[in-house]
Amino acid sequence: MRLPDAPRINPSILSADFVNMQRDLERISGADLVHVDVMDNHFVPNLTFGPQMVERVQATSPIPLDVHLMISDPDRWAPEYAEIGAASVTFHVEAARDPIALARRIRDIGARAGVAAKPGTSVEPLLDHLGEFDQVLVMTVEPGFGGQSFMPETMPKLVELREAAARTGADVWLQVDGGIGPDTIGQAAEAGADTFVAGSAVFGADDIDGRIAQLRALARAHRH
């Protein structure tokens, strides 16, 4: 599977109509990947869906899956999402017992391995190990609910990651998730992000294809 070049726009189906999921997946066929938020009501105070639902999304989606696991014990569960066929599986560094071993296992199955950090979590421990991951997700809101406001104070983490990737030669995607829309995507792109999760900004637009194209153009214009 050849994955798209940066900048990548990954709409979050957390903002889709769960009863009309296939319709909404088709409405974002012009995006790069579909962002699938898995929440367990334990690691975060919200409950979405698990492997069975993700497997159905995988079977019907016109674009690859970018699965974001906001769950406890990802060491046990994350490989299952790779086996379903997700293109990318991201787990939280705060929840994993051994992030590097887990990332290697996900890669061995055939998916890209991502690691996420909450707004208050430092990315410094990851900087010397970026080559072990295919993606680092900097949360720009507290994880758990869609529709929150973008947190600009998280941008220095992206700068750190971008500089470390350049220094080490790591080929790693830098993703942001939370409050991303036309007014904020430029700031994230300037800081170093190349992969952007947008939920309500996409699904709440009258012209979804136009909004995806707008976000992509804005990110490209502000790339570092």
The catalytically annotated residue of 32, 40, 134, 177 is 177
90 forms beta bridges with 68, 114
Annotated catalytic residue 177: yes
Question: Cα 8 from chain centroid?
Answer: 10
The catalytically annotated residue of 24, 32, 37, 194 is 37
Question: With contact defined as beta carbons under 8 Å apart, do 65 and 85 qualify?
Answer: yes
CB count within 10 Å of CB 131 equals 12
Annotated catalytic residue 37: yes
DSSP letters spanning the chain: -PPPPSSEEEEBGGGS-GGGHHHHHHHTTTSS-EEEEEEBSSSSS-B---HHHHHHHHHH-SS-EEEEEE-S-HHHHHHHHHHHT-SEEEEETTT-S-HHHHHHHHHHHTSEEEEEE-TTS--GGGGGGGGG-SEEEEESS-TT-SSPPP-GGGHHHHHHHHHHHHHHT---EEEEESS-STTTHHHHHHHT--EEEESHHHHTSSSHHHHHHHHHHHHHHT--
Residue type, 97: R
Catalytic positions are: 37, 177
